[in-house]
Structure 1
Amino acid sequence: METTQGIHRNSVSEVKLSYRPNFRPQERPALRTSADSYEHFLKMDNWNFNTDRLNCLLMNPAMKLIARLSYSTKPYSIKDIYTTALLSGATRMIIGFYRITAMPGVEDRDFFRKMHVASKHIGVRLEDGLYYRTVGYYSLLDNDENLYTV
């Protein structure tokens, strides 16, 4: 193998990710309703109620919470979200958009559709999308919006 200044020409960098939960599996809360999801979104750390955010709740097949993700910088990376979901062993996901304005925007709906398309190929089911503020929320699932229309 050829080398250039001690580096193998055909070598590739390795990326390592780790997931270490800080609770036992039997202590995981179950998310049965959109109200449960809303409560968990409000509990998430590093809140700044003056900026829009994207938060994700990752769950196992029994709808038990595995991990919470929070993004404050646009554009949101679908690759990063699903990489973390797969690494954690999640099979279900709920995304929440914290918005200063009450209703979802076109950009949010487009992002949700892209997440849904990715979920078909990756195997992590997108269960619901919430748009929320400190005083309430809007659930796509509860409002009979077809989550899987692409």
Structure 2
Amino acid sequence: MEQTFSMETLYQVAEIELVYKSKVKASERPKIITSKDAYKILLQTWDEDKMELQEQFKILLLNRGNKVVGIYEVSTGGITGTVADPRLIFTAALKANAVALILAHNHPSASLKPSNADTTLTQKIKEGGKLLDINVMDHLIICNEGYYSFADEGCI
């Protein structure tokens, strides 16, 4: 059965607008050279009260010069996990006009060992990034006392 639409109905659709507005001058954005640089920035923005309470997932969005154009909190979960939806991650990256990103999440247990789920998610997002020409540079597991870098360990 063929469906017909009136002209009025055709114009009742959502309008999509892509906008990126930064309040930080390009010269003032922090540059990521090492995983430690990323860790320091993330630690400053992490809610200390949640570090050992709830798992959170964030991304650093980077421009071509590896300068941070934004930080996006993807999700906050429970004690043992959180959902990191790749669609939300890439929506944020595309909206910020990022060419690279760094994934990060905490382990409330303070264990820096990646789980199988962490490794699988990292590879899934890295593959998605290839399709969009967005480089997934690293995935950090963080706690107050240190971090684990997938890139430093040759796992990304």
TM-score normalised to structure 2 length: 0.83
What is the DSSP-based 3-state SS (H/G/I as helix, E as strand, rest coil) of the residue aligned with 1:107? helix
Counterpart mapping for 1:44-83 below 5 A:
44=45, 46-47=47-48, 48-49=50-51, 50-70=53-73, 71-73=75-77, 74-83=82-91
In the aligned structure 2, how far is the partner of 1:45 from the partner of 1:135? Answer: 13
In the aligned structure 2, how far is the partner of 1:92 from the partner of 1:60? Answer: 6
In the aligned structure 1, how far is the partner of 2:8 from the partner of 2:124? Answer: 39
Q: Which has the higher helix share?
A: 2
In the aligned structure 2, how far is the partner of 1:18 from the partner of 1:46? Answer: 27
Q: Which amino acid aligns with 1:28?
A: R
> Which of 119, 131, 134 is the aligned partner of 2:144?
134
Match of residue 124 from structure 1: 134
Structure 2 unaligned residues grouped into runs of 5+? none
What is the DSSP-based 3-state SS (H/G/I as helix, E as strand, rest coil) of the residue aligned with 2:95? helix
Report how far residue 37 of structure 1 moved.
0.4
Bigger mean CA offset, 7-16 vs 135-144: 7-16
| CA deviation profile, 1:17-56 (whole Å, cap 9, x unmatched) | 5432111111111010000000011111545121011110
In the aligned structure 1, how far is the partner of 2:59 from the partner of 2:145? Answer: 19
Match of residue 121 from structure 2: 111
Match of residue 84 from structure 1: 92
Structure-2 change in CA distance of 1:46 and 1:14 (3 Å): farther
Q: Which amino acid aligns with 2:38?
A: S
Runs of 4+ with >4 A deviation = none
What is the DSSP-based 3-state SS (H/G/I as helix, E as strand, rest coil) of the residue aligned with 1:8? helix
Report how far residue 144 of structure 1 moved.
2.3
Report how far residue 94 of structure 1 moved.
0.6
Q: Which amino acid aligns with 1:24?
A: K
Report how far residue 12 of structure 1 moved.
2.5
1:28 aligns with 2:29: yes
CA RMSD of aligned residues (A): 2.1
Report how far residue 15 of structure 1 moved.
3.9
Report how far residue 81 of structure 1 moved.
1.1
